[in-house]
């Protein structure tokens, strides 16, 4: 995924949420000052392999969901999914986070040589300033939803979870699985619910680009496709 392809989606997200592009770009620029280039070739061994992109829904605690992650060749954890999996004895190969829930886990993982994709956006600038300097720089990949600058990359995606899927796709992952996802989680607030709607739309877009069908979208695939196309004016 390159930014030219992603930009129309980003613009639709800005309109839908009323987000400030200037704020996203300012956070990106701060992240760029605090980051060093990350060598994506270290993910070359993900190529063609099964990658579990673990979400942080409560269902991740279920043994069946843990099993999906455990059986994958590579595990990418979104935010607090990393804590659940580590507690269950499942190694995490990459954490994707916007630093809002478990930044201490992110720091600990980079200290152990585990890559962390840390996202800078208009609403988390204080966290970016506080936590990025604490990471082991060689293991920190800074990301943005705006145009990439310097060491800050945009590989596609919006929420922690779907950004993990786009990252895996970007580096050539084979099959993608999705333990710990629940687009209909009744315990999330209205804003989070809207973000989950966008995560579903983006995964629908990604599976179409990949020629793959993600089981996590069964039962909603056609609806999210129509929503995605309507929001992009297609």
159 pLDDT more than 90: yes
Segment 7-12 mean pLDDT: 97
Decide if 118 is inside a domain: yes
Q: How many domains are there within the chain? A: 1
128 pLDDT more than 80: yes
Query: 171 is in which domain, residue-wise?
Result: 3-178
Task: Note if the pTM is more than 0.85.
Answer: yes
Decide if 223 is inside a domain: no
Least confidently predicted of 144-148, 184-188, 223-227: 184-188
For 152, list phi and psi in degrees, rounded to 5: -90, 125
Decide if 233 is inside a domain: no
The number of beta carbons lying within 10 Å of the beta carbon of residue 226 is 12
Decide if 205 is inside a domain: no
Decide if 53 is inside a domain: yes
220 pLDDT more than 90: yes
Decide if 227 is inside a domain: no
Decide if 36 is inside a domain: yes
Label residue 47 exposed, middle or buried (CB < 10 Å: 0-12, 13-18, 19+): exposed
For a pLDDT cut of 90, what percent of the chain falls above it?
A: 98
Decide if 16 is inside a domain: yes
Residue 233: what pLDDT?
A: 87
């Amino acid at each position: 995924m390159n930014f030219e392809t992603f930009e129309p989606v980003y613009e639709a997200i800005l309109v839908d949420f009323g987000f400030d592009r200037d704020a996203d770009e300012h956070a990106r620029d701060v992240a760029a000052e605090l980051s060093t280039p990350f060598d994506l070739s270290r993910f070359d061994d993900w190529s063609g392999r099964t990658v579990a992109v673990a979400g942080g829904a409560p269902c991740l605690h279920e043994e069946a969901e843990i099993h999906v992650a455990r059986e994958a060749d590579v595990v990418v954890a979104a935010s607090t999914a990393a804590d659940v999996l580590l507690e269950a004895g499942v190694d995490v190969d990459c954490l994707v986070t916007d630093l809002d829930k478990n930044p201490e886990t992110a720091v600990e993982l980079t200290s152990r040589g585990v890559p962390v994709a840390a996202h800078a956006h208009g609403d988390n600038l204080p966290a970016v300033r506080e936590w990025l300097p604490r990471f082991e720089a060689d293991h920190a990949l800074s990301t943005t939803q705006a145009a990439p600058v310097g060491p800050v990359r945009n590989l596609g995606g919006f929420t922690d979870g779907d950004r993990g899927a786009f990252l895996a796709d970007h580096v050539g992952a084979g099959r993608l699985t999705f333990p710990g996802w629940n687009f209909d989680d009744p315990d999330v607030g209205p804003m989070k619910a809207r973000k989950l709607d966008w995560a579903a739309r983006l995964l629908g877009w990604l599976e179409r680009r990949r020629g793959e069908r993600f089981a996590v979208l069964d039962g909603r695939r056609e609806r999210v496709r129509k929503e995605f196309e309507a929001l992009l004016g297609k």
